[in-house]
């Protein structure tokens, strides 16, 4: 015990947050107690409410406290017939921030990982298949991560989509805009070469 028991417990509990070790947890605990008591109380309340009420969208599986998330509930998002497959709700945010996509999402909440017991069922792929059967999509965009698992998951889902007659695309991978070739890893550079397009394109 370094402090009083309750303060020790607070410092320990704060370490459940990603990227927060003993040192920053201590700094957080002191800051809350010293000058953020109202904000801290609000955080405790909102956190409890969130854990009680936030679940997954019944249609796209992203986080929401409603039955259906705001994106799925927006009829305009269905107009183009595009469905974008991502691994996590954070990916939805990243894509929304580009302002380049007006369709809907399906959030896997992970990727295929047999060793960790994550199979098609855990990713909700049966529900995705039902959705593809119930609604005629124009295009399914695979935006899983460019990792071994993300690629394997993309291939698996591409098969499902094709069996429903839906056109499938994969987001482009390559040298980041503004990036320098010599600083990019070989794997990315290979992708960049293989994915080359005619210059006038």
Binding site for a copy of itself (CB under 8 A): 1-7, 9-10, 13-14, 16-19, 24, 26-34, 36-37, 39-51, 53-54, 63-66, 69-70, 88-90, 93, 96, 109
CB of 198 to a copy of itself, least distance (A): 37
> Of 10, 11, 29, 57, which lies in the binding site for Zn ion, with binding defined by CB under 5 A?
57
For residue 72, state whether it binds Zn ion (rule: CB under 5 A): yes
State the nearest-atom distance from the C-beta of 2 to a copy of itself, in Å: 6
**Phi and psi for 62 in degrees, rounded to 5?**
-75, 170
Which residue in 14, 28, 29, 59 binds Zn ion (CB under 5 A)? Answer: 59
User: Any idea how long the chain is?
Assistant: 201
Alpha-carbon distance 69 to 192, whole Å?
Answer: 35
Backbone angle region of 7, left / alpha / beta, with phi > 0 → left and psi within -120 to 50 → alpha: alpha
Q: Coil, helix or strand for 137?
A: coil
60 binds, among a copy of itself, Zn ion, none (CB under 5 to 8 A by kind): Zn ion
Q: Find which of Zn ion, a copy of itself, none residue 144 binds, CB within 5 to 8 Å per kind.
A: none
In contact, 105 and 80? CB cutoff 8 Å: no
Q: d(Cα 195, Cα 189) in Å, to the nearest integer? A: 10
């Amino acid at each position: 015990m370094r402090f009083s028991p309750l303060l020790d417990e607070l410092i320990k509990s704060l370490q459940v947050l990603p990227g927060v070790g003993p040192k920053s947890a201590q700094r957080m605990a002191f800051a809350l107690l010293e000058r953020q008591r109202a904000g801290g109380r609000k955080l405790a309340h909102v956190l409890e409410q969130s854990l009680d009420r936030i679940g997954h969208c019944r249609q796209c599986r992203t986080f929401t406290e409603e039955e259906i998330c705001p994106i799925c509930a927006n009829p305009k998002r269905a107009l183009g017939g595009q469905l974008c497959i991502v691994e996590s709700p954070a990916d939805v945010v990243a894509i929304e921030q580009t302002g380049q996509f007006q369709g809907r999402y399906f959030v896997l909440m992970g990727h295929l990982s047999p060793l960790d017991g994550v199979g098609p069922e855990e990713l909700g792929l049966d529900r995705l298949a039902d959705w593809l059967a119930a609604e005629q999509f124009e295009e399914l965009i695979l935006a899983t991560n460019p990792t071994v698992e993300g690629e394997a998951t993309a291939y698996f889902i591409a098969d499902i989509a094709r069996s429903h007659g839906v056109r499938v695309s994969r987001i482009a991978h390559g040298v980041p805009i503004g990036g320098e070739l010599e600083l990019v890893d070989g794997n990315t550079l290979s992708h960049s070469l293989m994915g080359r397009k005619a210059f006038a394109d």
